[in-house]
């Protein structure tokens, strides 16, 4: 590859590399298949997100939807499904369709439509990452689009009010989670020991439900009752996404350690100097003896685990 591919997507929080399900799916797939991706999270700059997010930019090609991005990566020989049989490939498509039909509406609802969740968590989070004045408009638009999608695909008779639709989509989501849990069983990933496209999609949809802390969380509670799905998410996070809440790779942690050591040495030197000065002062007759407190090294707040940094 001449230039590394760049992925623009929403950033992370609560221990996740991204809180947006589709961005998370693409990131997970890239990790599974070993594709070198430079992840640029959307932050408070004027390059506002236009159209779909996530977006993959490779040389001059711009690709926007997760399915198309995954296809592109496969064509570039980054294929996580290499060892799957034809039937397993078919199963992948079927389960992805199941997750999109049954789980996505309630995910959208939890993030964007439920009033308490939206106002206290989603809107501030997204607004803080979009530049003014778009941050006043864009979260609202995303919320309206989510509601629209839910109503158009699931609303209509015999449901005549939003609460009935909500009840149905949460029922469907819980059933879907149960089905996924049964399918996963006790194995580490959906098709044995290596993660594939299906694992990327399921992780992308489950992890935000699992990790993001909302005031209204009944879907999360249901998910926590399915320990194999929770273990699945945690495994992927620890194996493939070590310390990514701030985008640091393991080498980042080493440099942080090195910095910490240097700082410790400096402070120790300072404290030695101060002790020497103190001795000199004591030996000098004019001043009464004083004891200077030795400087203790406090663990730097910024070097603490980034995983805790954004915890609410």
Partner 1 sequence: AAEPWPENAALYQQLKEEQILLSDNASSLAVQAFLQMCNLPIRVVCRANAEYMSPSGKVPFIHVGNQVVSELGPIVQFVKAKGHSLSDGLDEVQKAEMKAYMELVNNMLLTAELYLQWCDDVTVEEITHPRYGSPYPWPLNHILSYQKQWEVRRKMKAIGWAGKTLQQVLEDVDQCCQALSQRLGTQPYFFNKQPTELDALVFGHLFTILTTQLTTDELSEKVKHYSNLTAFCRRIEQQYFEGNDKESSSTAAARSAKKSLLR
Residue 160: CB minimum distance to partner 1, A: 11
Out of 41, 74, 162, 183, the only residue in the binding site for partner 1 (CB under 8 A) is 183
Binding of partner 1 at residue 61 (CB under 8 A)?
no
Cis peptide before 54 (omega within 30 of 0): yes
Q: Contact, 87 vs 100, CB < 8 A? A: no
Binding of partner 1 at residue 94 (CB under 8 A)?
yes
Binding of partner 1 at residue 170 (CB under 8 A)?
no
Nearest CA-CA partner of 147 in 99, 103, 114, 102: 114
Complex with partner 1: residue 82 or 238, whichever CB lies closer? 82
A 10 A CB-CB count for 228 gives 15
Q: Contact, 95 vs 198, CB < 8 A? A: yes
Residue 185: CB minimum distance to partner 1, A: 7
E strand or H helix that includes residue 217: none
Binding of partner 1 at residue 62 (CB under 8 A)?
no
Q: Which residues make beta-bridge pairs with 247?
A: none
Site residues (CB under 8 A) for partner 1, limited to 95-134: 95, 97-98, 100-102
Q: At CB < 8 A and 24+ separation, what contacts does 303-307 make?
A: 303/256, 303/259, 303/260, 305/243, 306/243, 306/245, 306/246, 306/248, 307/15, 307/243, 307/245
Complex with partner 1: residue 27 or 146, whichever CB lies closer? 146
Binding of partner 1 at residue 180 (CB under 8 A)?
yes
Which residues 6+ apart lie within 8 Å of 217 measured at CB? none
Q: Among 178-186, 201-209, 267-275, 279-287, which window interacts with partner 1 (CB under 8 A)?
A: 178-186
C-alpha–C-alpha distance, residues 156 and 179, integer Å: 26
Site residues (CB under 8 A) for partner 1, limited to 63-92: 65, 86-87, 89-91
Binding of partner 1 at residue 228 (CB under 8 A)?
no
Binding of partner 1 at residue 167 (CB under 8 A)?
no
Interface residues with partner 1 (CB under 8 A)? 65, 86-87, 89-91, 93-95, 97-98, 100-102, 145, 148-149, 152-153, 156-158, 179-180, 182-183, 185
């Amino acid at each position: 590859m001449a230039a590394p591919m760049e992925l623009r997507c929403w950033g992370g929080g609560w221990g996740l590399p991204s809180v947006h399900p589709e961005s998370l799916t693409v990131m997970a797939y890239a990790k599974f298949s070993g594709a070198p991706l430079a992840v640029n999270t959307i932050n408070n700059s004027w390059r506002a997100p236009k159209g779909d997010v996530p977006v993959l930019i490779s040389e001059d090609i711009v690709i926007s939807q997760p399915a198309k991005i995954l296809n592109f990566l496969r064509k570039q020989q980054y294929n996580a499904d290499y060892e799957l049989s034809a039937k397993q490939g078919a199963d992948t498509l079927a389960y992805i369709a199941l997750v999109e039909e049954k789980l996505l509406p309630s995910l959208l609802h939890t993030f964007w439509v439920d009033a308490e969740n939206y106002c206290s968590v989603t809107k501030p989070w997204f607004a803080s990452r979009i530049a003014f004045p778009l941050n006043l408009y864009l979260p609202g638009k995303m919320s309206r689009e989510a509601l629209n999608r839910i109503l158009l695909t699931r609303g209509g008779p015999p449901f005549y009010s939003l609460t009935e639709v909500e009840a149905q989509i949460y029922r469907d989501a819980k059933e879907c989670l149960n089905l996924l849990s049964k399918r996963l069983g006790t194995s580490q990933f959906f098709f044995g020991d290596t993660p594939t496209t299906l694992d990327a999609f399921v992780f992308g949809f489950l992890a935000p439900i699992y990790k993001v802390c909302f005031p209204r969380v009944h879907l999360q509670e249901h998910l926590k009752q399915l320990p194999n799905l929770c273990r699945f998410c945690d495994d992927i996070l620890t194996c493939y996404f070590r310390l990514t809440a701030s985008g640091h790779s393991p080498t980042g942690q080493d440099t942080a350690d090195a910095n910490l050591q240097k700082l410790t040495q400096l402070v120790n030197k300072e404290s030695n100097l101060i002790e020497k000065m103190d001795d000199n002062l004591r030996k000098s007759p004019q001043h009464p003896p004083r004891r200077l407190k030795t400087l203790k090294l406090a663990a730097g707040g910024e070097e603490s685990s980034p995983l805790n940094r954004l915890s609410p």
